[in-house]
Structure 1
Amino acid sequence: MKKTTTRLSDGRQLIYYDSRDDADRTAPDRRPLPPVATSSEIRRDPLLGDHVAIASHRQDRTYLPPADACPLCPTREGRPSEIPADGYDVAVFENRFPSLAGDSGRCEVVCFTSDHDASFADLTEDQAALVLAAWTDRTAALQQLPEVAQVFCFENRGAEIGVTLGHPHGQIYAYPFTTPRTARMLASLAAHREATGANLFDETVARERADGVRIVLDTDHWTAFVPYAAHWPYEVHLYPRRRVPDLTALDDAARAEFPRVYLELLRRFDRIFGAGDGQGPDADTAARTPYIAAWHQAPVGIPDRDAFALHLELFTIRRTAGKLKFLAGSESGMNVFINDVPPEAAAQRLREVATK
């Protein structure tokens, strides 16, 4: 992998990750951009203890541009973009409209491919491995920043999720605090250890593997299953077989096997509602399953950090081909989820649509 670090015309960092050592990424950003001005502020809810990012400047972010004006495509003659090069493998840059900035953290955009019409599921295993390398490298770098407490790599796909740019991409949020969801996991982990002396993550994965009914994939180095109390209609949790706290700690074997496993899961998600293989430039993008893919990594500097288990949660808000799961009164008002699809049925469906 070749890594090239440069700056955009407004001073934001841009990093290219290329599979070829001879890739030339010296093209400068010639846009006359003004300096980035953000108004990000972190406020704490005194009743819930949650943190909320107030970021009014995001009202001006780019919203559903036509393909010929996509800011994530490579730069073309007369059509400059956030990527000055005329092509790239993977590119990561500081978000121009960040939710978190300065002492309040950092937000980055991860472009998975220069192909505007592709999806992550269309990538080759080598391309997916390069994305994993970029996630890992950025996790290592962001965890070193003094203001960062937790690094979150994720992808939103589909208009139903709220995606405002159609180009295949994800994001990385570097929070200045431990997120509420992670804090709840850590509390459960500590309580279970106090009560039993065992690791709750290890026992959860072992229980799913022993039961087997909710297992979607079980390989030499990864286990994917629909959790017993799944919140979403189709939800898969993917764990490395050897517990590690974050992406930087994955061993070579797990890292090598990940692209095949993850691409298979994504392609199954594109099949669960009868949308064909969901691959290639001629695929019906409207039929592709909308999803969120979220890496859960241990916060920085917490006690017994190695007890946390890195894992990826992949889920969709679509419950049938023409219906979405909305977060209505119980979910939004009380954070009590009601799932219309039994986890065992979801797992069975995800096994049925395995790649032939």
Structure 2
Amino acid sequence: MTTSSESAAAAPHRRFDPLRGRWTLVSAGRDRRPWSGAAEAASPPAPPRYDPACPLCPGNPRGAGDDRNPEYTGPFAFPHDFPALRPDPEAAPPSPGAGAAVDPPPGPAGGLLRAEPVGGVCRVLCFGPRHDTHLAAMSDGELRGVVDAWLEQARGLGRRWRWVQIFENRGAAMGASNPHPHGQVWASSVLPDEPAAEDVNQRDYLRAHGSRLLVDYAATELAAGERVVAAHGGWLAVVPYWAVWPFETMLLPLRPTSGLTDLDDDGRAGLVGILRLLLTAYDGLFGVPFPYSMGWHGAPGGPAAGPASADHWQLHAHFYPPLLRSATVRKFLVGYEMLAGPQRDITPEQAAARLRAQVPAARA
């Protein structure tokens, strides 16, 4: 079903997500329903430039053993003190007091209950030394340092591990445990469900059409324009046609690019510019530091991955912000969403128009 923004706002309909092979129910206008439910806390007071109690600030102890951060001046990565994955899944956890490794309970041979070991590593990536900043507020040089750090993590870990998930949780509403600007990198020996679905659908599309799914999608969105938030430096920020979260966006390069490590100097510079535009638009929407979870999806790696195996992949980042109608009212994926399927309360076209209005004109 192809629909204009006008007809989309008039009647409930569903939209297909070709990247993951699922449908999203669009029920425009539900954001106006009366609300007396949970509300997010007001924006917290501005943090200090340096917090002596912060385990991520330069020179501070991290609270696990005797580890102390160096006096770092740029992006700084270190092994997660409480990792969800370990290089040897059968070894005892390295964290103090974590106890010995416990094997998963085995299921009957050939039965429904299955378990298997998963190896990997988890790292924390501090974006910079200042406790009181965030990506959109950084200088171009500082933001480029973060981009380069993402590439370094992807390149190094991708040589060994099948999947490298680089992500950031910003704000308490999205589970950030510390306001210091930072993200994480989890690398695993297996391909998790979300990228596995994207891998299958992108591969099938290339086989059927001879081109990359997301390259064709970017061209379609640029031609339509109504879901585009910003285009800059060879990059596109768009509210996907099939978006689930109210102000969800996707960030992708316009030319074929399989992963972060394929970005040249111009690609990295363009990424700095589009990141600033998108994140500034987010923060301007409700006049608060906009919470989100974001992460990069690129071609899977590991020793078994060859150059040809990445031909179907197009690098992209997903941004999933929870806020719906104000700085204090968020979207909850509960009830119907958990039991039946994804549903959104405003059209992607409406969301894109509101974000686009916040894009700094001088940089767009």
- TM-score bin (small chain): 0.7 to 0.9
**Distance in 1 between the 2:147 and 2:126 partners?**
12
Residue 74 (structure 1) aligned with residue 87 (structure 2): no
Residue 251 (structure 1) aligned with residue 264 (structure 2): yes
Provide the secondary structure at the position in 2 that maps to 1:218: strand
Hey, what does 2:291 align to over in structure 1?
Answer: 290
2:189 to 167, 176, 180: 176
**Distance in 2 between the 1:108 and 1:193 partners?**
33
Moved more, 189-198 or 220-229: 189-198
Is the CA contact (8 Å cut-off) linking 1:73 and 1:83 kept in structure 2? no
Hey, what does 1:307 align to over in structure 2?
Answer: 312
Check 1:126–1:295 CA distance in 2 against 1; reply closer, same or farther (3 A cut).
Answer: same
Uncovered stretches (5+) of structure 1, i.e. residues with no partner: 1-65, 276-286
Is the CA contact (8 Å cut-off) linking 1:234 and 1:341 kept in structure 2? no
Residue 100 (structure 1) aligned with residue 105 (structure 2): no
**Distance in 2 between the 1:304 and 1:326 partners?**
37
**RMSD of aligned alpha carbons:** 2.1
Q: How many residues matched?
A: 275
Q: Which has the higher strand share?
A: 1
**Distance in 2 between the 1:226 and 1:325 partners?**
16
Check 1:251–1:234 CA distance in 2 against 1; reply closer, same or farther (3 A cut).
Answer: same
Is the CA contact (8 Å cut-off) linking 1:72 and 1:82 kept in structure 2? no
Is the CA contact (8 Å cut-off) linking 2:120 and 2:187 kept in structure 1? yes
Residue 216 (structure 1) aligned with residue 229 (structure 2): yes
Check 1:327–1:82 CA distance in 2 against 1; reply closer, same or farther (3 A cut).
Answer: farther
Residues 189-240 of structure 1: per-residue CA shift (max 9 Å, x gap) = 2332333333212211111111111111112411111110111100111111
**Distance in 2 between the 1:142 and 1:291 partners?**
25
Hey, what does 1:88 align to over in structure 2?
Answer: 73
TM-score when normalising by structure 2: 0.71
**Distance in 1 between the 2:159 and 2:357 partners?**
43
Hey, what does 1:51 align to over in structure 2?
Answer: none
Provide the secondary structure at the position in 1 that maps to 2:343: coil
Which residues of 2 match residues 77-226 of structure 1 at below 5 A? 83-103=68-88, 104-145=119-160, 148-226=161-239
Provide the secondary structure at the position in 1 that maps to 2:274: helix
Hey, what does 2:338 align to over in structure 1?
Answer: 332
Uncovered stretches (5+) of structure 2, i.e. residues with no partner: 1-49, 89-118
**Distance in 1 between the 2:220 and 2:335 partners?**
32
Aligned letter for 1:308?
A: W
Report the alpha carbon displacement of residue 67 of structure 1 after superposing the two structures with TM.
Answer: 4.2
Report the alpha carbon displacement of residue 83 of structure 1 after superposing the two structures with TM.
Answer: 4.9
Greater RCO, CA 8 A, separation 6+: 2
Share of identical aligned residues, percent? 33
Report the alpha carbon displacement of residue 138 of structure 1 after superposing the two structures with TM.
Answer: 1.2
Report the alpha carbon displacement of residue 82 of structure 1 after superposing the two structures with TM.
Answer: 5.3
Hey, what does 1:239 align to over in structure 2?
Answer: 252
Hey, what does 1:349 align to over in structure 2?
Answer: 354
TM-score when normalising by structure 1: 0.73
Report the alpha carbon displacement of residue 164 of structure 1 after superposing the two structures with TM.
Answer: 1.0
